[in-house]
Amino acid sequence: MKILVSVKRVIDYNVKVRVKSDNTAVDLTNVKMSMNPFCEIAVEEAIRLKEKGIATEVVVVSVGTKSCQETLRTALALGADRAIQVDTEDGLDSLGVAKLLAKVAQNEAADLIIMGKQSIDSDNNQTGQMVAALLDYPQATFASDVVIENGEAQVTREIDGGLQTLSITLPAVVTTDLRLNEPRFASLPNIMKAKRKPLEVITPADLGIDVGSNVSVIAVAPPAERAGGVKVGSVAELVDKLKNEAKVVS
């Protein structure tokens, strides 16, 4: 079984995001970048399936400029077998990325596509669903447990009411939640080995895909600063403030 895992290069989750002075985009100058945390979980799950003997090959793919090769090398160091970079400008919308990933999945004849449920930069949570729709594959999102057997995936996912278990036939798309696993750290020997693993660079033209965006960013703004709280001396004062100042009760 071949597993295709998509990974994305994003601002490190420990970094405080800054907005450019002209409000056109997030400021990436001298900012630490890393693999999207949900993508790390997807890579880890694919590697574990390979270690169990269920998967025979793990291929990682990223869409973006040459800088995303660093993220791909990280995935290779974690245990992926080979990598594919789809060379595009940054800032593609979700549908453009989904079209590219779907075509790569077709070309690779992937039996299982594992993706992070969302990226921590745009937080759209829609690319995985779009890939499944474009390929007409069954999908299971927000996976907290994945079991593969007899050509099917038993996926436990988190919903508002608790847990739901789905049985989907392969090939399929699975998106990962935080509780699926704990990603490993890449060892130094594996980091060195990753430099020799194959990394293929292709373009949207090679895939026959038009990535023209239908979405444009009008403005980017930081969240409003929160005002400090106040202490109240009684329940009556609290009700008065909720009614007359906050106007959340009548």
> What are the residue boundaries of the structural domains of the chain, listed by start?
2-244
Q: What's the pLDDT at 143? A: 94
Instruction: Tell me: pLDDT of 76 over 80.
Output: yes
| Strand-strand pairing, 112-116 and 172-176 | parallel
Q: What is the mean pLDDT of residues 49-73?
A: 94
Is 245 within 8 Å of 227 (Cβ atoms)? no
CA distance 128 to 94: 9
Does residue 165 carry a pLDDT above 80? yes
Residue 30: partners with Cβ closer than 8 Å, 6 or more residues away = none
* Reported confidence tier of residue 249, pLDDT bands at 50, 70, 90: confident
Read off the pLDDT band of 88 (50, 70, 90). Answer: very high
Number of H helices, E strands in the chain: 7, 11
Q: How many CB atoms lie within 10 A of CB 72?
A: 26
CB 123: neighbour CB atoms within 10 A?
Answer: 8
> What are the structure tokens assigned to 23, written together?
């409000």
- Is residue 2 pLDDT above 80, yes or no? yes
82-91, 179-188, 215-224: least confident range: 215-224
For 2-244, which CATH superfamily applies? HUPs (3.40.50.620)
Q: What are phi and psi of 243, to 5 degrees?
A: -80, -45
Mean pLDDT of the chain: 91
Q: What percent of the chain has pLDDT over 70?
A: 100
* pLDDT score recorded for residue 48: 96
pLDDT at 28: 83
Phi, psi of 200 (to 5 degrees): -95, 135
For residue 153, the 8-state DSSP code is E
